[in-house]
Amino acid sequence: MTDNHKEKSTFGFKQVDSEKKRGLVDGVFDAVSENYDLMNDFLSFGIHRLWKRIALEIAEIRPNYKILDLAGGTGDLIKLISPKISKEGVLILSDINQSMLSLGRDRLIDQGVNNFLSVQLDAQQIPFSDDYFDLITIAFGLRNVTNKENALNSILRCLKPGGKLVILEFSKPENEMFREIYDLYSFEIIPKIGDRVAGSEESYRYLAESIRMHPNQEELIEIMEQVGFKECNYSNLTNGVVAVHSGKKASLAND
């Protein structure tokens, strides 16, 4: 098969062979993992911590839930979820990138969080049984997945009937003037800060580009519904800089 017939995916603004995207994304996160939390605090002025708390309020966690956090990075969501889970519950930190996963796991253990498991996995091929999880979360990770539809299908399969998906992701600001200022910040300032603080301008340029290429609020709702999620909706945060999307797997009564 020639390159012209290979499945394509976006890597920032570039079109790349889908089979190559994982390696490219791995390279980005290998480069930024050590300074990831510092950069998140710096670039969002610390607001990302509030966004994550709001996403978990929308998740409506119960103590006995089985929960999978995809693209869990340095473990922020796991740390917030941990006190909410009883011994009957299951909490799993996962990431496709080994550098990020190891950093998150070790940091959580150092902070005294020990009621979780860590698993390296690809969100497009989740290695768990059908109908297993009550809740699956993914924060700032969906835009880096090679094929979002494949990931959403995999998530849907693993959720119990009535189970919930919560996605926290950068989206499209509602106000046009604010959007222009945000674009200037994303494409001109963030890469330069990334270079000075994390020593990786290109990695942060990719992250800015990946935000622009990610489906907007309504487009993501449409993709979720096409895959088969029910009760799909979203809430804009900070003028739509980020959005929390949620959807449920149909309950048995509605099948």
pLDDT at 4: 54
pLDDT of residue 202: 85
Q: What are phi and psi of 5, to 5 degrees?
A: -105, 0
Phi, psi of 92 (to 5 degrees): -125, 125
The confidence score (pLDDT) of residue 44 equals 82
| pTM value surpassing 0.85 | yes
8-11/14-17 β-pairing:
antiparallel
- Evaluate if residue 196 carries a pLDDT over 50: yes
**Contacts of 72 by beta carbon, 8 Å cutoff, 6+ apart:** 78, 93, 94, 95, 100, 101, 104, 139, 141
Structure tokens at 103: 């950093």
Looking at residue 219, its pLDDT comes to 97
Which burial class, exposed, middle or buried, applies to 253 when counting CB atoms under 10 A from its CB (0-12, 13-18, 19+)? exposed
CATH code of 29-175+204-254, in short, is 3.40.50.150
pLDDT at 174: 92
Q: If we measure between CA atoms, which residue out of 27, 6, 24 comes closest to residue 14? A: 24
In tens, the pLDDT along 84-100 reads 999 999 999 999 999 89
Using the Cα atoms of residue 166, residue 62, residue 250 and residue 92 in order, give the sign of their dihedral.
Answer: positive
| Pairing, β 242-248 against β 230-237 | antiparallel
**Separation of first and last alpha carbons in the chain:** 40
* pLDDT tens track for 102-117: 999 999 999 999 999 9
At position 134, the amino acid (one-letter code) is D
Reported as type and span, the H/E element at residue 170 is strand 159-170
Q: Which residues contact 236 (CB under 8 A, 6 or more apart)?
A: 171, 174, 217, 242, 243
